[in-house]
């Protein structure tokens, strides 16, 4: 796995760990003190979204995304390669547009200092939108690598150790 994907996967894992810790603290607080900790639910929601986007690129590199192989398996090798190439080109275009739109969304959110509604304190969300944008960009880079190396064996720094 490439270093960028190891970092991304580690960040996603750390966010899930933090979600677990925050929720345990929240439950204990409710049980012992009878009161919720302000903002925990909002933070958990943001961390959950960020952990998902952090996992896209490592999942693509490991080729662990869900895919329907029923049709492709029955095609001749050359036709299957053409279909996979078309699918990757469509995926690259789609994720590029999504990256662009999330960049615009982050910029708009940052420029107005957007905060989550409903909390008694101002919980900014622009940093989370920046994380979504970074996750999409990493996913886009990995999709392009997967398109260029359809066999899934791109040479990486960490592969040389094995």
What is the average pLDDT value for the chain, to the nearest integer? 87
Expressed as residue numbers, the domain containing 108 is 3-161
Q: What is the pLDDT of residue 154?
A: 47
Report the percent of the chain where pLDDT is more than 70. Answer: 91
User: Is the pLDDT at 47 greater than 90, yes or no?
Assistant: yes
Q: What is the pLDDT of residue 20?
A: 96
Higher pLDDT, 86 or 120: 86
Q: Cα torsion for 77, 81, 84, 86, to the nearest 10°?
A: -140
Name the pLDDT band for 162 (thresholds 50, 70, 90).
very low
Cα three-residue angle 22-56-113, rounded to 5 degrees: 60
Question: What's the CA gap between 11 and 24, in Å, rounded?
Answer: 20
For range 142-150, the mean pLDDT: 88
Question: What's the CA gap between 150 and 88, in Å, rounded?
Answer: 9
Question: What's the CA gap between 6 and 41, in Å, rounded?
Answer: 28
The pLDDT tens digits for 63-115 are 877 777 788 888 898 988 888 889 899 999 999 999 999 999 999 999 999 88
For range 7-12, the mean pLDDT: 93
The count of domains in the chain is 1
Q: What is the pLDDT of residue 116?
A: 82
For range 13-33, the mean pLDDT: 95
Q: How many residues does the chain have?
A: 162
């Amino acid at each position: 796995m490439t270093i960028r994907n190891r970092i991304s996967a580690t960040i996603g894992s750390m966010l899930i760990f933090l979600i677990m810790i925050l929720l345990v603290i929240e439950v204990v607080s409710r049980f012992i003190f009878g009161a919720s900790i302000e903002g925990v639910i909002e933070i958990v929601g943001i961390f959950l979204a960020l952990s998902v986007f952090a996992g896209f690129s490592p999942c693509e590199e490991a080729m662990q995304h869900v895919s329907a192989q029923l049709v492709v398996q029955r095609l001749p090798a050359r036709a299957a390669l053409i279909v996979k190439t078309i699918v990757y080109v469509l995926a690259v275009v789609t994720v590029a547009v999504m990256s662009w739109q999330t960049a615009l969304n982050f910029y708009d959110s940052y420029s107005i200092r957007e905060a989550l509604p409903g909390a008694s304190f101002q919980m900014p969300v622009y940093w989370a939108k920046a994380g979504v944008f970074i996750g999409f960009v990493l996913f886009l880079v990995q999709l392009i690598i997967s398109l260029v190396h359809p066999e899934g064996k791109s040479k990486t720094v960490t592969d040389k150790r094995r």
